[in-house]
Amino acid sequence: MLRAQNLYYHFPVPRNIFSPCSAAAAAADTATATLGRRNCIGTAFNCCSAKSEMRQLWFPPLFPFVPPSITMKSGLAGLAGAVSFSMAISSVVEAKEPVSLEFLPKDVVLYQYEACPFCNKVKAFLDYHNIPYKVVEVNPFGKKEIKWSDYKKVPILVVDGEQLVESSDIIDKLNQRIHPEKTILDEEESKWRRWVDEHLVHVLSPNIYRTISEALESFSYITSHGNFSFHERLTAKYAGAAVMYLVSKKLKKKYNITDERAALYEAAETWSKAIDGREFLGGSRPNLADLSVFGVLRPIRYLKAGRDMVENTSIGEWYQRMEAAVGESSRLQA
């Protein structure tokens, strides 16, 4: 029996969540039956960590606690939390901020899920600063790639042999390393970074799993970009989509969301207003808050939720400037 530990950290999937009257639910039950027990604990949109990136329901919030031994269904729920978005229109913006050779890390390895919003947050920082990094794609069913670590979530970033965990902590430590002269944190920047981890991420899951078709679209993206066997890919796409479609309804209730799209649009407009006529929150260059918002949204940008957000709010121009500013990935090809 395939077993897995939860990917994201926030969100237990209740037992007997599938309803026999739902075709999607029936498909999920069928897939699960071949694997074993019906009960599962999972989390979604939360492959990762945020300081409290939060040890509550995130996928709702994005990070759930998962017992060391759970069935594949919990792995499916965990997978679900790994999505975000991106797109852009080019405009004249400042170039990337490369790191001085004196402070440039020599060996950087990121253990990740490709579609995970918190992993993408770390990658946005690395790409913007032109820090070369290698990627190890973790298989959420078993996580054998990170068995060497006591920390069982992603992202994990190993920098010159030192293990860093929790996306916001990773960024703080790297930023301090490459900018040792910056000893005082900007209050506005810190405020909006907290907003990303404590609010924005909670709005995403109810949107990308809002309907059966959107849940299937999201899992198609997750499974096509992740580290899965052929069998795992098929099971994750259909059973996972069914699970997260149902879970998203519980998330709406938990976070008092009555209209998913309205909540997403409101978050996008809130961020756009925070920019207040500037190119970026950081002024002429993106700061850590800009990179956090961009990173978390990048995985879902081309999903229906991301497309709708750009079409119905004023966040698109900022997002396009961010794509131009972050530029090409500094990821090293294997």
Decide if 119 is catalytic: yes
* Token couple for 262: 């309205």
Options 8, 11, 119, 133, the catalytic residue: 119
Q: Which residue spans within 43-95 are E strands per DSSP? A: 70-71
Q: Cβ(93)–Cβ(294) under 8 Å?
A: no
Neighbour-count burial for 61-100, b at 16+ CB within 10 Å, e otherwise: bbbbbbeeebbbbbbbbbbbbbbbbbbbeeeebeebeebe
Decide if 21 is catalytic: no
Q: Cβ(160)–Cβ(124) under 8 Å?
A: no
Options 113, 125, 209, 294, the catalytic residue: 113
Decide if 85 is catalytic: no
Decide if 116 is catalytic: yes
- Sign of the four-CA dihedral 102, 107, 111, 114: positive
Rounded to 5°, angle at Cα 128 from 54 and 171: 30
Options 18, 85, 116, 133, the catalytic residue: 116
Options 9, 11, 85, 118, the catalytic residue: 118
- CA–CA gap between residue 257 and residue 249 (Å, rounded): 9
What 8-state DSSP symbol labels residue 206?
A: H
- CA–CA gap between residue 302 and residue 280 (Å, rounded): 22
Catalytic residues: 113, 116, 118-119
